Chain A
């Protein structure tokens, strides 16, 4: 293996590792994401309970009720946006290409990078990232499903109010899932392919590891 070949392979490898670090950060931020979504649900139900008590014991003013409904439905998007923003911020905090300066030193830099690698941790990170990527995909679909169900429920309520036509709640939930899966079909396909690529990366790295361990380098 010559110096150019080594630098090029190392660059590819480190780029893939940066990607894995991002996926790993997605998994790590799932705790924050879950806490924020649960907090949103708790806040929305608390607000709903407060408004129910208010309308029972204080007054059931129609204008106030509409405003309360608006606020109730605004809590969910606000919480979801905040949770997604938090995940994105954490993923953005992963600084890619920090290794480029070392790699610019040539074969010596590449060897230095290789020596600093902890292979067991890398393999574990990829498996972890793969799982997280899958869980994040499911969580994203579930959240979108919740939003779509809420939106369709409000639409159904409006249609019922205007035209006295009512859609069954089960149908609303099922239709919301169909809409979400249809709108996210490209994302789902991309996610499926990405998981396949991570599998491929894992196998490639095993080869990479064995090749570098046994390689003679020409300066």
Chain B
């Protein structure tokens, strides 16, 4: 029984990773459904050549940072909603039909309640497009939490996310 309880607890943890080796303007996004807590680690490796331009990082609050060396940032998105028991059932009873994704870009669902993404070639209004729900009546702001930043320049960008419904 102790082992079974431990297994249940262990199964609640989810992790995900995304990497992109491209230049240009990219959005690095960590998102989660509100009943999860999530920690994401973003790492940017600028191209290591003498004539390489600095990489510009723009944060969601508008502040900017120029980097020439490896830069790493951890963000914590706390739980902001009540526990969704569908999540637990979807983990332990895989008999349930997979729900359709509710968003155009994000792959969030009860089966996949945390997500990280590096979106290439974004425009300034990428957020409205990225946030867009498939069903217009969905109130996405209440349902999900999101952290993002924009990276411009020649660099490899990776983001890993790790979360649990506690």
Give the residues in chain B near A34, CB-CB below 8 Å: none
A41 in contact with B9 (CB, 8 Å): no
In contact, B164 and A52 (Cβ under 8 angstroms): yes
Shortest CB–CB separation between residue B70 and chain A, in angstroms? 13
Interface size on B, residues (CB 8 A): 17
Contact B3 A57 (CB under 8 A): no
| Cβ < 8 Å to A, chain B residues 14-59 | 37-39, 41
Beta-carbon contacts under 8 Å, A1-57 to B: 38, 41-42, 45-46, 48-49, 52-53, 55-57
Q: Contacts of B164 on A, CB cut-off 8 Å? A: 52-53, 56
Q: Using Cβ atoms and an 8 Å threshold, which residues of chain B touch A57?
A: 37, 76
Residue contact B162 to A55, C-beta cutoff 8 Å: yes
What is the CB-to-nearest-CB distance from A100 to chain B, in angstroms, rounded to a whole number? 47
User: B10: which of A48, A56, A60 is its contact (CB, 8 Å)?
Assistant: A48
- Tell me, yes or no, whether B13 is within 8 Å of chain A by CB: yes
> B39 touches which one: A41, A42, A45, A60 (CB < 8 A)?
A60
Within 8 A of B (CB), among A164-182: none
Closest CB of chain B to A206's CB: distance in Å? 44
Selected contact of A53 from candidates B6, B38, B166, CB within 8 Å: B166
Q: A53 to chain B: which residues have CB within 8 Å?
A: 164, 166
A52 and B39 in contact (CB under 8 A), knowing A38-B3, A45-B6, A60-B162?
no
Q: Mark B76-97, 1 if CB is under 8 A from A, else 0.
A: 1000000000000000000000
For the complex, is A59 an interface residue (Cβ under 8 Å from B)? yes
User: Which chain B positions have C-beta within 8 A of A46?
Assistant: 6
B104-141 with Cβ < 8 A to chain A? none
Report Cα–Cα, A49/B76, bound state, in Å. Answer: 18
B163 interface residue per 8 A CB criterion: yes
When distances are taken between beta carbons in the complex, the residues of chain A under 8 Å from B64 are none
Q: Does B65 interact with chain A (Cβ within 8 Å)? A: no
The reply to whether B3 and A42 contact each other, CB–CB distance below 8 Å, is yes
In the docked arrangement, what's the CA distance between A17 and B136, Å?
82
Which residue on B lies nearest to A46, using beta carbons? B6
Knowing A52-B13, A55-B39, A60-B39, say if A45 contacts B3 (CB, 8 Å). yes
Considering the chains assembled together, what is the distance between the CA atoms of A60 and B43 in angstroms? 14
In the bound complex, what is the Cα–Cα distance between A53 and B162 (angstroms)? Answer: 10
**A48 vs B3: C-alpha distance in the bound complex, in angstroms?**
13
Question: A42, A45, A52, A59: which contacts B74 (Cβ < 8 A)?
Answer: A59
Closest to B13 in A: A52
In angstroms, Cα B2 to Cα A115, docked, is: 50
Q: How many angstroms from the CA of A22 to the CA of B76 in the assembled complex?
A: 58
Contact of A49 among B6, B38, B163 (CB under 8 A): B6
Q: Which 3 A-B pairs have the closest CB atoms?
A: A45-B6, A56-B39, A52-B13
Given contacts A42-B2, A45-B3, A52-B10, 13 further A-B contacts (CB under 8 A): A42-B3, A42-B6, A45-B6, A46-B6, A49-B9, A52-B13, A53-B166, A55-B162, A56-B38, A56-B163, A56-B164, A59-B74, A60-B74
Q: List 13 A-B contacts (CB under 8 A).
A: A41-B3, A42-B2, A45-B10, A46-B6, A52-B10, A52-B13, A53-B164, A53-B166, A56-B13, A56-B37, A56-B38, A56-B164, A60-B39
Give me the interface of A with B, judged by CB distance under 8 Å. Answer: 38, 41-42, 45-46, 48-49, 52-53, 55-57, 59-60
